[in-house]
């Protein structure tokens, strides 16, 4: 692998330009207005895999957006790496908070990215990170250094719950057979602090609707005499946490595993500055469950958050009205062993039970998924660790993330293989947020590190 660095140097501009072209297409899976753009993106990924040296590439139809599948099988007796990624992106709104249009990529330097970062929706999540794998494959095939078999499975519905991918995986066990799954769709601690994600949180996402009177009412004529759905909804939501920011839903913590003192001490060794954290977010203080540190609160502990709330009059000026209905979207991030369907049921039962007389409550589950943890003594983890050691000159730190990629636990269940999460984004890259970006350093480091993973995984598998 001594010439990966020179390969990157020679091809750097092309690698950046190809990613920029990919980022120009608004492949927003949540909004059907962009259907053609999502499909066009799948076609471009297909072509890029062919160019990178796959023997067979196909666009697999599903009930939703297609899955791009590609493979290069060099020897049935060698191990097989299955790469997963997604080509869909989150909606870019609110548009007015972007400093440049979300689908017109620009390169700008930032404090954390002195070498420049590409600003565009999907730059980090996940087009940039997924495309690192395509370029790493290109390097390995064009220099005759692919040490094992490789399969690619790039989907277009990750940001909307991957329900069709779940069906595809269940129906294609043989095709997808592999020895390890490799994903770059997470982050790392800092440019000079490489880390490997060893855990993801699960998710239960629900929508609630509180209905009071059968129509909107004059808030003077009726105010004080009937239940106001917005008042009631906010009260119900507030009651879901106690004074210690513990979630009050009965049974919610039953399956939550308490980490040992040793494990928590190990976690606390990861470099972290609370001051820098607060400064980056312009907050005076952090907030969360009593008894846990910030890094614990956002990784090994489950949470409940309102993601959106609406109802009543929100136009200009004042309108005196008691709305008939109030709504909220609520997410619960879960930890391994908490089953998302059980938690959804617990939420539903509890939320309905705390509704006062005078309103009716409807809870609609959206989607969810299980959490994931992976051991650090597997061949895959060791191979990844050695790869980072080579390219960063440091042993990467294992770290559990607060985010979710629900399909990962399904991979383990259906394909019986472990997933290695080699993420190269930074938490400050603003994924799902205005001004999302991905560092050029991170993009190129990823392309450099991935081929080493293949090499060490193949060697360690012997
Ligand atoms: N790539 C993210 C998940 C992620 C980001 C994990 C950073 C760890 C670190 C993924 O695309 C995502 O956004 N997942 C959603 C869940 C999905 C069901 C919409 C999430 O975590 O909110
Ligand atoms: Mn992602
Ligand atoms: Mn995402």
The Å distance, Cα 342 to ligand 2 centre, comes to: 25
Q: Which ligand is nearest to the CA of 401?
A: 1
What's the pLDDT at 250? 98
Domain-located, residue 262:
no
Kindly state whether residues 83 and 212 are assigned to the same domain.
no
Q: Are 81 and 129 in contact (CB under 8 A)?
A: no
Which of 314, 345, 369 corresponds to the end of one domain? Answer: 369
What's the pLDDT at 324? 98
For position 334, which CATH number holds?
Answer: 3.30.70.360
Q: Which ligand is nearest to the CA of 85?
A: 2
* Interaxial angle between packed helices 407-415 and 163-171, expressed in degrees from 0 to 180 and rounded to the nearest 10: 10
Please indicate whether residue 451, judged by its CB atom, sits closer than 6 Å to ligand 1: no
* Tokens describing residue 338: 């908490």
Please indicate whether residue 126, judged by its CB atom, sits closer than 6 Å to ligand 1: yes
Kindly state whether residues 319 and 431 are assigned to the same domain.
no
Residue whose entry in the numeric block shows the structure tokens 């969810």: 368
Question: 218 burial class (0-12, 13-18, 19+ CB within 10 angstroms)?
Answer: exposed
The Å distance, Cα 158 to ligand 2 centre, comes to: 7
Q: Which atom of ligand 1 is nearest to the CA of 205?
A: 18
**How many structural domains compose the chain?**
2
Which of 315, 337, 369 corresponds to the end of one domain? Answer: 369
Q: Which residues of the chain have pLDDT under 50?
A: none
Q: Which ligand is nearest to the CA of 406?
A: 1
Kindly state whether residues 90 and 164 are assigned to the same domain.
yes
Q: Are 70 and 141 in contact (CB under 8 A)?
A: no
Cα gap 159→179, rounded to integer Å? 26
Cα gap 259→163, rounded to integer Å? 31
Kindly state whether residues 244 and 324 are assigned to the same domain.
yes
What's the pLDDT at 152? 98
Domain-located, residue 261:
no
Domain-located, residue 283:
no
Residues 204, 195, 457, CA angle at the centre, nearest 5°?
A: 100
For position 140, which CATH number holds?
Answer: 3.40.630.10
Kindly state whether residues 60 and 101 are assigned to the same domain.
yes
Domain-located, residue 196:
yes
Query: Which of 60, 213, 44, 123 is CA-nearest to residue 432?
Result: 123
What's the pLDDT at 2? 64
Please indicate whether residue 448, judged by its CB atom, sits closer than 6 Å to ligand 1: no
Please indicate whether residue 125, judged by its CB atom, sits closer than 6 Å to ligand 1: yes
Domain-located, residue 279:
no
Kindly state whether residues 413 and 445 are assigned to the same domain.
yes
Number of H helices, E strands in the chain: 12, 18
Question: Closest residue (by CA) to atom 6 of ligand 1?
Answer: 403
For ligand 1, pick from 195, 308, 340, 404 the residue to mutate: most ligand atoms within 8 Å of CB. 404
Q: Which atom of ligand 1 is nearest to the CA of 404?
A: 21
* Backbone φ, ψ for residue 436 (5° rounding): -55, 140
Q: Are 438 and 117 in contact (CB under 8 A)?
A: yes
Q: Which atom of ligand 1 is nearest to the CA of 368?
A: 18
Question: Closest residue (by CA) to atom 15 of ligand 1?
Answer: 404
Kindly state whether residues 220 and 351 are assigned to the same domain.
yes
The Å distance, Cα 211 to ligand 2 centre, comes to: 35
* Backbone φ, ψ for residue 405 (5° rounding): -130, 85
Kindly state whether residues 53 and 177 are assigned to the same domain.
yes
* CB count in 10 Å sphere of residue 320: 11
Name the 3-class secondary structure at 75.
coil
Give the CA distances from residue 73 to residues 70, 202, 251, 416, in Å, rounded to whole numbers and listed in that order.
10, 33, 48, 20
Kindly state whether residues 151 and 176 are assigned to the same domain.
yes
The Å distance, Cα 173 to ligand 3 centre, comes to: 25
The Å distance, Cα 160 to ligand 3 centre, comes to: 9
The Å distance, Cα 260 to ligand 3 centre, comes to: 31
Which of 354, 369, 384 corresponds to the end of one domain? Answer: 369
Please indicate whether residue 158, judged by its CB atom, sits closer than 6 Å to ligand 1: yes
Residues in the chain: 462
| One-character DSSP codes across 250-305 | TTTTTTPPPPPHHHHHHHHTS---HHHHHHHHT-SS----TT--HHHHTTTS-EEE
Domain-located, residue 276:
no
The answer to whether the bond into 198 is cis (omega within 30° of 0) is no
Question: Closest residue (by CA) to atom 19 of ligand 1?
Answer: 159
Cα gap 385→377, rounded to integer Å? 10
Kindly state whether residues 207 and 188 are assigned to the same domain.
no
Q: List strands edge to edge, sheet with 106-108.
A: 106-108, 117-119, 437-439
Domain-located, residue 391:
yes
The Å distance, Cα 213 to ligand 1 centre, comes to: 38
pTM comes to 0.95
Cα gap 427→272, rounded to integer Å? 12
What's the pLDDT at 1? 58
Please indicate whether residue 186, judged by its CB atom, sits closer than 6 Å to ligand 1: yes
Domain-located, residue 27:
yes
Q: Quote the domain boundaries for residue 447.
A: 4-200+371-460
Kindly state whether residues 383 and 247 are assigned to the same domain.
no
What's the pLDDT at 106? 98
Kindly state whether residues 386 and 334 are assigned to the same domain.
no
Question: 434 burial class (0-12, 13-18, 19+ CB within 10 angstroms)?
Answer: middle
């Amino acid at each position: 692998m001594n010439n990966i660095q020179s390969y990157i140097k020679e091809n750097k501009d092309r690698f950046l330009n190809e990613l920029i072209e990919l980022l120009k297409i608004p492949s927003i899976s949540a909004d059907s207005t962009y259907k053609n753009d999502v499909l066009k993106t799948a076609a471009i990924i297909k072509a890029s895999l062919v160019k990178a040296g796959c023997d067979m590439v196909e666009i697999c139809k599903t009930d939703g957006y297609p899955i791009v599948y590609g493979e290069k099988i060099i020897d049935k007796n060698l191990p097989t790496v299955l790469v997963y990624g997604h080509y869909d992106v989150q909606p870019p709104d609110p548009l007015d908070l972007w400093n440049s249009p979300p689908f017109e990529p620009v390169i700008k330097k930032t404090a954390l990215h002195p070498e420049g970062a590409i600003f565009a929706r999907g730059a980090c999540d996940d087009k940039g990170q997924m495309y690192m794998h395509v370029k790493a494959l290109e390097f390995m095939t064009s220099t005759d250094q692919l040490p094992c078999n490789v399969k690619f499975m790039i989907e277009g519905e990750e940001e909307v719950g991957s329900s069709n991918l779940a069906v595809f995986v269940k129906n294609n066990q043989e095709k997808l057979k592999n020895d390890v799954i490799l994903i770059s769709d997470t982050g790392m601690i800092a440019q000079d602090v490489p880390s490997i994600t060893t855990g993801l949180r699960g998710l239960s996402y629900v929508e609630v609707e509180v209905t009071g009177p059968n129509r909107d009412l004059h808030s003077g004529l009726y105010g004080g005499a009937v239940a106001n759905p917005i008042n009631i909804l906010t009260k119900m939501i507030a009651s879901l946490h106690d004074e210690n920011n513990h979630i009050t839903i009965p049974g919610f913590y039953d399956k939550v595993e308490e980490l040992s003192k040793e494990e928590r001490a190990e976690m606390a060794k990861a470099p972290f500055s609370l001051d820098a954290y607060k400064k980056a977010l312009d907050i005076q203080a952090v907030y969360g469950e009593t008894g846990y540190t910030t890094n614990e609160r956002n990784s090994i502990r489950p949470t409940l958050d309102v993601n959106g709330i609406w109802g009543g009059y929100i136009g200009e000026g004042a309108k005196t009205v008691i709305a008939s209905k109030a709504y909220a979207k609520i997410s619960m991030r879960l930890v391994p062993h908490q089953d998302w369907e059980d938690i959804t049921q617990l939420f539903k039962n509890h939320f309905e039970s705390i509704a006062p007389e005078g309103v009716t409550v409807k809870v609609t589950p959206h989607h969810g998924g299980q959490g994931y943890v992976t051991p650090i003594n597997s061949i895959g983890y060791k191979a990844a660790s050695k790869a980072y050691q080579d390219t960063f000159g440091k042993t990467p730190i294992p770290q559990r993330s607060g985010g979710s990629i629900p399909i990962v636990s399904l991979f383990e269940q259906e394909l019986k293989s472990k997933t290695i999460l080699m993420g190269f984004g930074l938490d400050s890259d603003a994924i799902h947020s205005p001004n999302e970006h991905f560092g050029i350093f991170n993009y190129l480091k990823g392309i450099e590190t991935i081929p080493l993973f293949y090499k060490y995984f193949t060697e360690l598998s012997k």
